[in-house]
Amino acid sequence: MILLTNSTKFQDTVDLKFGNNIVNIKPKKISESVRFLGVWINLANKKSFVYNQILELINNYSNLIRYKPMTDKQLCYVYNAVISPIIEYRSQLTLFSKEECYKLFTPFRILFKNKFKYSKTIPNALLECRRFYDIKDIWFIQCQSHYTNLLAQINDQGLLGYITEFKLKELQIKQC
């Protein structure tokens, strides 16, 4: 078991009693990242761990694919159907800036241009254009995912929808 807390009063272990059983749990430090259902959580909201994890994923796939014989459309499919969902899932609790997303996507962009003998100077928008390759960059993936989640929360008829409406109203009042 893992205990996450932003309280500093828990230095050693915490004893939890379940019936006759006592479980000793050592709380994680605020700066430590913890994996829960494949998603990494950090109470200090540090993005570096997830950022490095995604960068490593992209670099590993790029190195794996670099010398494989495949067409440009196959590479687009591998990225959009395999790599992109992994990135979306792992970063669902971490919000990256547009610049960070650009830097994360750079190794794949370089691989794509080199592998298919494109000039380094061709616009990156060509890779992302629907009429050409339709490769989803990380910023687009992140925005689409968060918009979808927000829409689901707003339209929820249960407790989640009520809490979302309440928090939005609270935010609106704070901004006035």
Q: Is 22 a domain residue? A: no
| Pairwise CA distance, residues 9 & 19, whole Å | 25
Q: Is 174 a domain residue? A: no
Q: Is 1 a domain residue? A: no
Over residues 141-169, mean pLDDT: 91
Does this model's pTM top 0.75? My answer is no
Q: What band does 14 get if pLDDT is binned at 50, 70 and 90?
A: confident
pLDDT in tens, 83-113: 999 998 888 888 899 999 999 988 988 888 8
Q: What band does 26 get if pLDDT is binned at 50, 70 and 90?
A: confident
Beta-strand pair 39-42/33-36:
antiparallel
Angle at 139 between CA 85 and CA 164, to 5 degrees: 80
Q: Is 4 a domain residue? A: no
What is the pLDDT, as a whole number, of residue 128? 83
Q: Evaluate whether 150 touches 161 at the Cβ level (below 8 Å).
A: no
Q: Is 88 a domain residue? A: yes
Q: Is 52 a domain residue? A: yes
What is the pLDDT, as a whole number, of residue 6? 66
- The domain in which residue 56 lies consists of 45-158
- Return all residues near 71 (Cβ < 8 A) that are at least 6 apart: none
| Pairwise CA distance, residues 132 & 115, whole Å | 16
The answer to which of 24-33, 61-70, 89-98 has the lowest mean pLDDT is 24-33
Q: Is 134 a domain residue? A: yes
Q: Is 125 a domain residue? A: yes
Mean pLDDT score of the chain, rounded to an integer?
85
- Cα dihedral 83, 105, 34, 47 in deg (nearest 10): -160
Q: How many domains does one find in the chain? A: 1
